Amino acid sequence: AQSVAQPEDQVNVAEGNPLTVKCTYSVSGNPYLFWYVQYPNRGLQFLLKYITGDNLVKGSYGFEAEFNKSQTSFHLKKPSALVSDSALYFCAVGWPYAGNNRKLIWGLGTSLAVNP
C-alpha cells in the first residue's frame, strides 16, 4: 500500500536552533512531494513542493526541503527556528495531474513546538 510516514508526532526545538521535520514515503513512480503547515483552527497553508530538478527546494517563511530519492525522504528544514513556526506540519505525495486520481497521500502530521 502506498503511504507517507512522519515518524515523529512531535518535535521540540529551541528558538534560533535549526529544525528538521522528517517525512518518508512508499509509493510507486515519481510523485510530486509537498509540505503544508496548519496553525490552530485554520486550514492548511502550502509551504513548498518538489516536482523535479534540484533536490533542495526552497519555500515560504524560510523553510526548505531536501528530496532524497534513494532514501525516499523529503525532510523539511529551517536553519533558525522561530516561536511563530510552532504549528502542525503535513507531508503529502501525489500526482496532481494524474487524470481522475489527483488526490494526495498524507502523512499523519508532526506538531512542532519552538520554545523561547
Please give the distance of CA 34 from its chain centroid, rounded to a whole number.
Answer: 6
Kindly state the smallest distance separating residue 101's Cβ from other proteins, in Å: 8
28 vs 100, beta carbon nearer other proteins: 100
* Binding flag, residue 106, other proteins (CB under 8 A): yes
Enter the C-alpha cell of residue 105.
497521500
Q: Give the integer Cα–Cα distance in Å for 81 and 93.
A: 25
Choice between 15 and 95, CB closer to other proteins: 95
State the sign of the Cα–Cα–Cα–Cα dihedral 21, 37, 49, 58.
negative
Which residues of this chain interact with other proteins, rule CB under 8 A?
32, 34, 36, 41-46, 49, 51, 90, 96-97, 100, 102-104, 106-109, 111
